[in-house]
Amino acid sequence: MALRRVLRIDNEEDKKVLKMPSRPVKLPDRELKRLIADMFETMHEANGVGLAAPQLGINIQLCVIGIPADLEEQEDGSVVEVAPAEEYVLINPKIVKTSGDEVMRQEGCLSLPGWYGDVPRHSWVTVEYQELNGKLRRLRKADGLLGWAIQHEVDHLHGVLFTELIRDLSTLRDLSKEDVETVETP
Ligand code: NI
């Protein structure tokens, strides 16, 4: 496995690649396994919850998502895992159904580290995608962090960046310079 460089929205050359729509993946693809491992490693290193292949300069319809385990501190100070970590590899994902509503959430991106802004998202989405073995899968009514990460990553595959979805640009701020608790970054 290897760490790879993540392209940046605030770099003109990088942005050209990030803005390109990605082509569908033709399965089987023997090279994909290594790329997926690198994507997870790069995502975890940056404390992200999602990463799309075009963010590494590879314009194919592939993204990974890693939702951290839900930990709960007990009265005696011990920590209990109430929900395990979840990892997804989405190949050729398509959002086939949405809740239709809109929720505003503070969102960031590994291609613009430290910056967060208010982005409108559906509260849940149903996504269809392929697994590495080519099998078609459907994830129904994914909500919460998973649902938002799916919407953010699928946007990347169409060249859509979260900064373009922000309606009130005064909400876009560099939080790395402020003393706030870190928000999850897809
Ligand atoms: Ni992103």
pTM: 0.92
Rounded Cα distance, 175 and 32, in Å: 34
Percent of the chain topping pLDDT 70: 96
Domain 12-174 class, CATH top level: alpha beta
Pick the closest to residue 91 from 121, 53, 57, 117 (CA basis): 53
Average pLDDT over the chain, rounded to an integer: 95
So what's the pLDDT on residue 177? 77
Pick the closest to residue 115 from 159, 169, 160 (CA basis): 169
How wide is the angle at C-alpha 6 spanned by C-alphas 93 and 109, nearest 5°? 65
pLDDT digits (tens, 9 = 90+) for 91-128: 999 999 999 999 999 999 999 999 999 999 999 999 99
* Domain chopping of the chain, boundaries: 12-174
* Burial tier of 85 (Cβ tally within 10 Å: 0-12, 13-18, 19+): exposed
Task: Specify which residues 103 forms β-bridges with.
Answer: 121
Q: Tell how far the Cα of 185 is from the centroid of ligand 1, in angstroms.
A: 8
Q: Tell how far the Cα of 137 is from the centroid of ligand 1, in angstroms.
A: 23
Q: Tell how far the Cα of 118 is from the centroid of ligand 1, in angstroms.
A: 14
Q: Tell how far the Cα of 28 is from the centroid of ligand 1, in angstroms.
A: 26
Look at residue 176 and tell me whether its pLDDT is greater than 90: no
So what's the pLDDT on residue 2? 93
Q: Tell how far the Cα of 186 is from the centroid of ligand 1, in angstroms.
A: 5
Look at residue 73 and tell me whether its pLDDT is greater than 60: yes
Look at residue 182 and tell me whether its pLDDT is greater than 60: no
pLDDT digits (tens, 9 = 90+) for 15-68: 999 999 999 999 999 999 999 999 999 999 999 999 999 999 999 999 999 999
**Long-range pairs of 38-41 with CB within 8 A, sequence gap ≥ 24:** 38/1, 38/2, 38/3, 38/4, 39/4, 39/63, 39/64, 40/64, 40/66, 40/87, 41/1, 41/2, 41/3
So what's the pLDDT on residue 184? 67
So what's the pLDDT on residue 1? 78
So what's the pLDDT on residue 185? 66
List Cα–Cα distances, 179 to 25, 34, 47, in angstroms.
41, 37, 18
Pick the closest to residue 128 from 114, 119, 138 (CA basis): 138
Q: Which residues does the annotation mark as catalytic?
A: 153
